[in-house]
Amino acid sequence: MRHDITAGNPSAAGPSELAERLHDKISSVPGVERLHPTIRYAVASVGAGNLRAASASLGRILGPGESTVDAYAHADGIVDVTVDISTDFSTDALAVCREIRRVITTEVISAGLLVGQIRVTVRG
């Protein structure tokens, strides 16, 4: 399942570090109000030692710096990324999502990994 992709690429980050970096970058995209935890892959998206986050009341007990980005790494270095955001609609939702997709692609590639499935959802 999940493991660090480091073979042949010393700068490659583990999935949870990637998720945290994505959280920071995506939060900075203009128009993003906040990221919301995605429930399904909760366990995969948080770092070690944060088991509490895997429970049903996930959203509220993610600690500071915890990622609300689900970055799921397959064995072959392909990463699927899911993120739920709310927007303030200061710019149009499609433009915001396209920028987030661009950010995800950039970060995954800089981590030495391959982009799998991306899923960005604007929620209310």
Interface residue with other proteins, options 89, 102, 106, 110 (CB under 8 A): 89
Is position 10 an interface residue for other proteins (rule: CB under 8 A)?
no
Q: How far is the CB of 80 from other proteins (least distance, A)?
A: 11
Interface residue with other proteins, options 12, 54, 114, 118 (CB under 8 A): 118
Which residues, 6 or more positions from 63, have their beta carbon under 8 angstroms from its beta carbon?
50, 53
Q: How far is the CB of 120 from other proteins (least distance, A)?
A: 5
Q: Which residue has the tokens 């303030």?
A: 88
Site string for other proteins, 53-82 (x = CB under 8 A): ----xxxx----------------------
Size of the site for other proteins (CB under 8 A): 23
In the chain, at which residue ranges do the beta strands (DSSP E only) sit?
32-36, 70-73, 78-87, 114-122
Pick the piece of the chain touching other proteins (CB under 8 A) from 15-23, 43-51, 68-76, 116-124: 116-124
How do the residues of the chain divide into helix, strand and coil, expressed in percent and rounded to 5? 35, 25, 45
Distance CA 26, CA 96 (A): 10
Is position 103 an interface residue for other proteins (rule: CB under 8 A)?
no
Alpha-carbon torsion (37, 43, 44, 47), positive or negative: positive
Q: How far is the CB of 70 from other proteins (least distance, A)?
A: 14
DSSP symbol at 60: G
Is position 46 an interface residue for other proteins (rule: CB under 8 A)?
no
